Chain A
Amino acid sequence: MIRRAPTPEAPRGPVAGPRVSVFSVATVAFLAVFLLLVVVLIVTDLFYTDAKSFREALGSREVLHALWLSIFTSLVSVAFIVLFAVPVGYALSRYRFPGHALVDAVVDLPIVLPPVVIGLSLLVFFSTPIGKWIETTWVEFVYSVPGIILCQFMVSASFGIRAAAAAFDSVDRRLEDLALTLGCTRGQAFWRVALPMARNGIVAGAIVAWAHAVGLFGPLMIFTGTTRMKTEVLATTVQLELSIGRMEVALAVALIMLAAASVALVLVHALAPGRRWMNR
């Protein structure tokens, strides 16, 4: 449910407009420089490519398949990431246990590791007897679509978990305890108090994780390969098109990714519920 606009006497949140001062001018100048950098890059890409390349990219069955596969796999992996990030983030935030610092570090490991290493590690794991047993008994991961999802999950989950843990850290534990005295079980207190209050942070983490997952190509090239119409996603399409010297088509595909990402971000921002109470 989207809330009404804040009342005029809202004590917190953004001020009506920045007052002109050296400080405000300096901060806005940095903002302008950053925006300029992004816009210049996009405009340069737009000028480098042409309508023909766009038509070629959008008319290509391979590219459309890669687009669909990118959207599908990234959404599925983000769903899994959120499913894990919420309980894991809550546990990291709320519970202190022996080895907490070590667990914290392990959760952060995929953030600092080069993604290629994770792709390689997955490949190695599935060549072990346990990995082979999983593949023969359950699901095939190597050089397959589930492998893309697993790879995206392994590389991006830490972003979601870290954001969820930070979001739960910001929720006053006493409010959850209070909910217990107001008739909630511990689970209800989580669903009715902690989760709604941490929702914005979790959504932000999911966006970062999704962006990371959708742009992944290095570990995918190692773990799932880049077989056209099978395991090729948009990020790998850009690499493939570049490798055969079709710079314009690669750029057109990159711009399609950019457009898809922009639409997704706008949708998430517009639909993310419960944001406005924070400004009250």
Chain B
Amino acid sequence: MIRVRGLNLRIGAFALRGLALDVARGDYFILLGPTGSGKTLFIECLCGLIRPDGGTIEIDGEDVTSLAPRLRGIGYVPQHQGLFPHLTVQENIAFPLRARRWPAALIKEGTEQFVELLGIGYLLQRWPGNLSGGERQKVALARALVTQPQVLLFDEPVSALDESSRERLCGELRRIHEELHITTVHVSHSVEEALSVGSRAGVMNDGQVVQTGPLTELLRRPADEFVARFFRTENIFQAAASPLPDGGCELAFAGHRLAASGRHGGKVTFIIRPEDIHVHGTHCAPADSPLTHHESRITNSLPAVLRRVSDRGVYRRLEFDAAVPIVVYSAGAAESFVPGQTYLLAFPPEAVHVLPS
């Protein structure tokens, strides 16, 4: 596993500030963050290309903070792929084994299985300059894998590719991880990329990891407004909260009182999850409508005027005006929504996530 504690580094305007992170053995961990958050600095510290000013990095229990990159047992694929242009694909893949002075027969054997795994046998005699972006990344991946490292480090490995190549390569990364179970840290700024490869993730902001956990947890329960906005969460509001005696709290919002889970007080920032809001016609208020078991738990309702409907393929994005703009994601294909009409927005207290202050 990877264990990082108190990592400090300052290079010009960029800095890592007491960064801490744990990645379990065999995990595929996605480290997300916007440009300038320190992701690349961090991964270069993990690689050993940059010596941190302070803190420790452990890989499988061994402190590697001051070890040379070649001694860390890592495979690294940088954003620029880093194929050596003066070497053929075959020579590029064999490079780490040649550097370690493996005998020729073992080099052939060592490279073959990964060439096969990635299906790049047809590229071996080609030059890097003649490869597509996706092919280049596969070669870079094969080269990182040939030494069978303990840890794989990817720095935005697919961000330079077009959308379809990106999806294909993300599929490859997932498949290879499922096959080899190598502990992987994959740095990215793309939420879509994260969703297509990883299950556990962390978000970096201003040189620190601000939240880690299962990706779904990060999406549903962001630790702060930065994480919420990074995941492009909609319906972020502020309101005054007052705790309720029986647990939960009440929010004074847009002239209504909303029930939310968790005991909070004072001014809070909260999210109403667009996918958890149910839309009803005004003639059919939740109190007197034939509610299903699921709907019977609904306690919050807001009348709102539908302003705009946009089709997003598998769901529709509905923009409502309930004194404040509220967005709803509706997966119901059969329902017809008429802009200009008033609807009732209903949602349970669990759909309201109050961000920790």
In the complex, are the beta carbons of B80 and A174 less than 8 A apart?
yes
* Inter-chain contact total with CB atoms closer than 8 Å: 76
Decide yes or no whether B143 CB sits under 8 A from chain A: yes
Decide yes or no whether B130 CB sits under 8 A from chain A: yes
Task: Give Cα distance in the complex from A172 to B84, angstroms.
Answer: 10
Task: Give Cα distance in the complex from A9 to B135, angstroms.
Answer: 15
Decide yes or no whether A110 CB sits under 8 A from chain B: no
Task: Give Cα distance in the complex from A11 to B86, angstroms.
Answer: 15
Chain A residues with CB below 8 A from B68, complex form: 180, 185
| Residue on B nearest A193 in the bound complex, by CB | B84
Task: Give Cα distance in the complex from A172 to B128, angstroms.
Answer: 15
In the complex, are the beta carbons of B76 and A280 less than 8 A apart?
no
Instruction: Give the residue of A181, A184, A197, A277 whose beta carbon is less than 8 angstroms from that of B47.
Output: A181
Q: What mask results when residues 177 to 196 of chain A are scored 1 for a CB within 8 Å of chain B, else 0?
A: 11111111100100011001
In the complex, are the beta carbons of B99 and A183 less than 8 A apart?
yes
In the complex, are the beta carbons of A181 and B70 less than 8 A apart?
yes
Task: Give Cα distance in the complex from A31 to B78, angstroms.
Answer: 43
In the complex, are the beta carbons of B95 and A192 less than 8 A apart?
yes
In the complex, are the beta carbons of A277 and B99 less than 8 A apart?
no
Q: Indicate the member of A183, A185, A277 with the most B CB atoms within 10 Å.
A: A183
Task: Give Cα distance in the complex from A145 to B209, angstroms.
Answer: 68
Chain B residues with CB below 8 A from A19, complex form: none
Chain B residues with CB below 8 A from A174, complex form: 78, 80, 82
Instruction: Give the residue of B70, B84, B130 whose beta carbon is less than 8 angstroms from that of A183.
Output: B70
Decide yes or no whether A96 CB sits under 8 A from chain B: no
Q: Indicate the member of A6, A178, A184, A193 with the most B CB atoms within 10 Å.
A: A178
Task: Give Cα distance in the complex from A280 to B48, angstroms.
Answer: 32
**A46 to B: closest C-beta gap in Å:** 42
In the complex, are the beta carbons of B130 and A197 less than 8 A apart?
no
Decide yes or no whether B69 CB sits under 8 A from chain A: yes
Decide yes or no whether B74 CB sits under 8 A from chain A: yes
In the complex, are the beta carbons of B130 and A280 less than 8 A apart?
yes
Task: Give Cα distance in the complex from A9 to B100, angstroms.
Answer: 34
Instruction: Give the residue of A7, A181, A185 whose beta carbon is less than 8 angstroms from that of B76.
Output: A181
Chain A residues with CB below 8 A from B98, complex form: 192
Q: What mask results when residues 144 to 167 of chain B are scored 1 for a CB within 8 Å of chain A, else 0?
A: 100100000000000000000000
Task: Give Cα distance in the complex from A193 to B83, angstroms.
Answer: 11
Chain B contact residue count (CB 8 A cutoff): 30
Task: Give Cα distance in the complex from A11 to B82, angstroms.
Answer: 18
Contact status of A175 and B69, CB under 8 A, knowing A11-B130, A181-B48, A184-B99: no
Interface residues of A in 197-226 (CB under 8 A from B): 197
Decide yes or no whether B256 CB sits under 8 A from chain A: no
Decide yes or no whether B231 CB sits under 8 A from chain A: no
Chain A residues with CB below 8 A from B129, complex form: 10-12, 277, 280
Task: Give Cα distance in the complex from A177 to B76, angstroms.
Answer: 11
Interface residues of A in 1-26 (CB under 8 A from B): 6-7, 9-12
Task: Give Cα distance in the complex from A48 to B143, angstroms.
Answer: 63
Contact status of A180 and B130, CB under 8 A, knowing A193-B84, A196-B86, A197-B86: no
In the complex, are the beta carbons of B99 and A192 less than 8 A apart?
yes
**A2 to B: closest C-beta gap in Å:** 13
Chain B residues with CB below 8 A from A178, complex form: 76, 78, 82
Task: Give Cα distance in the complex from A230 to B19, angstroms.
Answer: 71
In the complex, are the beta carbons of B127 and A280 less than 8 A apart?
yes
| Residue on B nearest A180 in the bound complex, by CB | B69
Decide yes or no whether B331 CB sits under 8 A from chain A: no
Chain A residues with CB below 8 A from B97, complex form: 183
Q: What mask results when residues 72 to 91 of chain B are scored 1 for a CB within 8 Å of chain A, else 0?
A: 10111010101011100000
Chain A residues with CB below 8 A from B127, complex form: 6-7, 277, 280
Interface residues of A in 153-191 (CB under 8 A from B): 172, 174-175, 177-185, 188
Decide yes or no whether A87 CB sits under 8 A from chain B: no
In the complex, are the beta carbons of A181 and B99 less than 8 A apart?
no
In the complex, are the beta carbons of B49 and A180 less than 8 A apart?
yes
Chain B residues with CB below 8 A from A114, complex form: none
Question: What are 17 inter-chain pairs, A to B, with CB distance below 8 A?
Answer: A10-B130, A12-B129, A178-B82, A180-B48, A180-B68, A180-B69, A181-B47, A181-B48, A182-B144, A183-B97, A183-B100, A192-B95, A196-B86, A197-B85, A277-B129, A280-B85, A280-B129
Which 9 A-B pairs have CB atoms at the shortest separation, nearest pair first? A183-B99, A280-B129, A280-B127, A178-B82, A182-B96, A181-B76, A180-B69, A181-B69, A183-B96
Interface on B for A, CB 8 Å cutoff? 47-49, 68-70, 72, 74-76, 78, 80, 82, 84-86, 95-100, 126-130, 143-144, 147
Interface on A for B, CB 8 Å cutoff? 6-7, 9-12, 172, 174-175, 177-185, 188, 192-193, 196-197, 274, 277-278, 280
19 A-B pairs besides A172-B80, A179-B99, A182-B70 with CB distance below 8 A are: A10-B129, A175-B82, A178-B78, A181-B69, A181-B75, A182-B76, A182-B96, A182-B147, A185-B68, A192-B95, A192-B98, A197-B84, A197-B86, A274-B86, A277-B127, A278-B85, A280-B85, A280-B129, A280-B130
